[in-house]
């Protein structure tokens, strides 16, 4: 049946047989197998090309790394492995006159950490805390992070580091350092000073001689491998540190101990605000001991106040009071206006410039000799003697004795004292200066005045540095100071005789006498200037300065007690301290007892 649509012819599919000729009836086209073989060749070509490209990139990179930037990259890698450490220079020691150490540097270690090598900071902190005596949380914080170098603890002793090192803790290392220590604690602490956290001197000799003591640090460079181990290579190098110089003092350690103990005793008994003691060798000017109360321990200086650390023997100035009468006596005798037996009529009061001047005790008119006025410490008697010479002469003698100039011990903070020049004097300035008020001095300055009289009138400037000793052991001695004559030998002899009357019966300081030795000296009970009101508010400075043996002088010893609350006079408070210190010094130095009796000078005119 015919339709309008073409009919679809049915076809039957038969399997195609492969022929031996390799081509089927389909003519020249490729079979599917042929197509697959051609596709593999393409892939191989592409793979070769890709490999060539990648190899070219790697080659170019290799050329860049090795040929172009090889040296720079090698240097950078080496720099990451290299570590340079400073080798600290051992700080020089501070020694007493016999070579005993007052300050010394000992080996120590800084414990460090590489935080990147520490997997469990808390666990390490648990192990380190009891050894370092640092809280666990503080240590854990120091051990946590990405820093390659971190201080865990500084200045630990070698034994402590050995305990830590034996634990083989990952990321924990150490570096060599040193620790400043003061074997005798507070002994001579005001002289020696202390070292601050940055390694520099903070006071005393440590500060004044910091450049001598410090030395020159060395350097060590090495390669560090995994876990911080040292790699022995040719890149290791080191420069040795050069130790600092030692400083040897004139101070005798044993005498310093006795002086400090005796001074601390009167400081506590009297309730004073402070006290000082100075021991000088009259012939050389060397300071054998210099004590101050209150004191401090330089091993723990941060636990003390700045006020406690002040060396009051050279920094604090005060009015000397009656010990200053030695200057007046030397001046008037040297000028020839009086001698030890010159009669002086001393009234109960003296009026000058509209003001009444009294002695420390009430009395009527006294008929004294110059020695009597001095031995009994009469203010009025000293004024009357001083008024026999021109006023400017008193100022001139004070300057010759070293008042108003630093003693140049080389210690920081030394005061020059304070005195008005004559053109600025007013009212009773001259009169008060004649008996030791109206000008200010340091303890060392006043002790030096007595040493000058005892040395036959020749002033030898005080010194406290005996020598420096460099790292090679070369000793450089401090040159001997040249003496300056202040008064004639005969004047000095006469004043010494008057000073002996002070410790004799009828004088103000029998408590300062030493059996077997002649002692010359002078007491002082001076009004103390209150810096808040700049006035005399009732406090005093009690002092005694003496010389022994008086017949062959070797030692001048000054004791000063400021603002005592129990006790008032210099003879009562300072005299016994002088006796204790000087007795020990005489015996320790094997100074023979006096061989002659003291001269007997009349105190009155009858």
The 8-class DSSP code of residue 604 comes to B
Q: What distance, in Å, lies between the first and last C-alpha atoms of the chain?
A: 188
The torsion defined by the Cα of 314, 318, 324 and 328, in degrees rounded to 10, comes to 100
Give the residue from 164, 168, 170 showing the smallest Cα distance to 117.
Answer: 170
Contact 123, 84 (CB under 8 A): no
| Distance, CA of 206 to CA of 208 (rounded, Å) | 6
| Distance, CA of 205 to CA of 443 (rounded, Å) | 19
| Distance, CA of 461 to CA of 314 (rounded, Å) | 14
Strands 475-477 vs 465-469: parallel, antiparallel or unpaired: antiparallel
Q: How many Cα atoms within 13 Å fall on the side-chain side of residue 111?
A: 25
Q: Which ranges of 82-157 does DSSP label H, i.e. alpha helix?
A: 121-132, 136-143
Give the residue from 187, 184, 186, 204 showing the smallest Cα distance to 195.
Answer: 204
Give the residue from 167, 415, 436, 160 showing the smallest Cα distance to 319.
Answer: 436
Distances (CA, A) of 206 to 87, 189, 210: 21, 10, 5
- Catalytic residue flag (residue 440): no
> 322, 378, 463, 543: which is the annotated catalytic residue?
322
Contact 214, 430 (CB under 8 A): no
> How open is the CA angle 524-528-529, to the nearest 5 degrees?
145
**Number of neighbours of residue 395 by Cβ within 10 angstroms:** 22
The phi, psi pair for 75, rounded to 5°, reads -65, -40
Strands 246-249 vs 94-95: parallel, antiparallel or unpaired: parallel
Q: Which residues are catalytic?
A: 322
């Amino acid at each position: 049946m015919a339709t309008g649509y073409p009919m679809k012819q049915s076809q039957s599919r038969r399997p195609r047989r492969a022929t031996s000729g390799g081509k089927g009836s389909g003519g020249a086209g490729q079979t599917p197998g042929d197509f697959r073989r051609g596709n593999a060749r393409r892939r191989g070509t592409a793979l070769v090309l890709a490999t060539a490209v990648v190899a070219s990139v790697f080659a170019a990179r290799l050329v860049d790394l090795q040929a172009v930037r090889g040296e720079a990259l090698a240097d950078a890698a080496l720099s990451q492995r290299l570590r340079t450490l400073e080798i600290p220079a051992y700080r020089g020691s501070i020694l007493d006159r016999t070579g005993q150490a007052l300050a010394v540097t000992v080996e120590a270690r800084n414990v460090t950490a590489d935080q990147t090598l520490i997997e469990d900071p808390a666990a390490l902190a648990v192990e380190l805390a009891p050894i370092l005596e640092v809280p666990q949380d503080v240590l854990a914080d120091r051990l946590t992070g990405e820093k390659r170098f971190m201080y865990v603890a500084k200045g630990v002793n070698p034994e402590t580091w050995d305990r830590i090192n034996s634990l083989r803790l990952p990321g924990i290392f150490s570096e060599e350092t040193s620790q400043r220590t003061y074997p005798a604690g507070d002994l001579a602490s005001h002289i020696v000073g202390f070292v601050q956290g940055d390694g520099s001197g903070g006071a005393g000799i440590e500060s004044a001689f910091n450049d001598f003591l410090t030395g020159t640090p060395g350097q060590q460079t090495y390669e560090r491998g995994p876990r911080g181990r040292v790699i022995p290579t040719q890149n290791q190098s080191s420069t040795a540190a050069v130790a600092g110089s030692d400083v040897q003092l004139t101070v005798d350690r044993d005498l310093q101990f006795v002086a400090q103990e005796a001074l601390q005793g009167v400081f506590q008994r009297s309730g004073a605000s402070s006290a000082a003691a100075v021991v000088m060798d009259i012939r050389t000017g060397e300071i054998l001991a210099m004590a101050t109360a209150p004191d401090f321990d330089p091993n723990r200086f941060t636990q003390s106040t700045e006020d406690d650390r002040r060396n009051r023997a050279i920094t604090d100035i005060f009015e000397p009071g009656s010990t200053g009468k030695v200057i007046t006596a030397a001046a008037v005798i040297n000028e020839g206006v009086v001698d030890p037996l010159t009669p002086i009529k001393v009234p109960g009061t003296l009026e000058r410039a509209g003001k009444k001047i009294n002695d420390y005790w009430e009395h009527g008119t006294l008929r004294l000799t110059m020695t009597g006025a001095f031995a009994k410490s009469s203010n009025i008697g000293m004024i009357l003697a001083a008024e026999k010479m021109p006023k400017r002469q008193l100022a001139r003698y004070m300057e010759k004795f070293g008042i108003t100039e630093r003693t140049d011990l080389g210690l920081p903070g030394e005061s020059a004292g304070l005195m008005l020049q004559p053109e600025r004097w007013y009212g009773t300035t001259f009169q008060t200066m004649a008996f030791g008020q109206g000008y200010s001095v340091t303890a060392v300055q006043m002790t030096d005045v007595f040493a000058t009289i005892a040395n036959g009138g020749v002033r030898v400037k005080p010194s406290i540095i005996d020598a420096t000793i460099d790292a090679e052991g070369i000793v450089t001695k401090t040159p001997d100071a040249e003496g300056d004559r202040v008064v004639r030998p005969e004047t000095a002899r006469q004043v010494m005789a008057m000073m002996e009357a002070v410790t004799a019966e009828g004088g103000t300081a029998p408590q300062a006498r030493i059996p077997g030795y002649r002692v010359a000296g002078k007491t002082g009970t001076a009004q103390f200037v209150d810096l808040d009101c700049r006035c005399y508010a009732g406090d005093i400075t009690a002092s005694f300065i003496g010389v022994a043996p008086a017949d062959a002088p070797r030692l001048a010893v000054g004791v000063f007690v400021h603002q005592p609350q129990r006790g008032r006079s210099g003879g009562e408070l300072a005299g016994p301290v002088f006796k204790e210190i000087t007795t020990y010094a005489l015996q320790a130095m094997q100074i023979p007892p006096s061989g002659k009796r003291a001269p007997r000078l009349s105190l009155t005119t009858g």
